[in-house]
Amino acid sequence: MKKLDAILESIAERFYPITSWLLRLGLGTSFILHGLGKFPLPPEKMVTWFESMGYMYPEFVTSLVALGEVGAGAGIILGGLINNHLGNLITRLSGGAVVVIMIGAILIAHSDWLVTKKLFMSEQIFLFLLGLFFAIKGNK
């Protein structure tokens, strides 16, 4: 067992520098694509759905969601390219934006999933957790 662990460690250690980039690119790309999927603004299907639930200013709110998703995704990626306190701040703020957006998505679109098996089998919980990871870790 020790020998197998040592072999795996010798292979894996070469990839340590890119491990956070794997998460960063996955989350950033996912959020950019989710946001772009809501264009052109305002996202009509989402507006209609928000109106049916009685939300105020659905055109404005749904447009903010789409822009927020694109901006947070881009910020997660771009923040990693800036190797100073500004990049760290952009990463943390973008991670926080992902957390806020995902809390909204879970509470509004998937409230029946709260603390159920379905939530933990969905991509939403992982997007939330990745956002939280970058909000806490930043570029460190």
- Sequence spans of domains, the chain: 15-137
How far apart are the C-alpha atoms of 140 and 70, rounded to whole Å?
23
**pLDDT tens for residues 45-102?**
899 998 998 889 999 999 999 999 999 999 999 999 999 999 999 999 999 999 999 9
- Does the model's pTM come out above 0.95? no
Confidence of residue 25 (pLDDT cuts 50, 70, 90): very high
* H helices present in 1-140, as ranges: 2-12, 19-36, 44-52, 58-81, 85-109, 117-120, 123-137
**pLDDT tens for residues 4-18?**
999 999 999 999 999
- pLDDT value of residue 59: 94
Distance between terminal CA atoms of the chain? 31
Nearest CA among 82, 101, 100, 103 for reference residue 91: 82
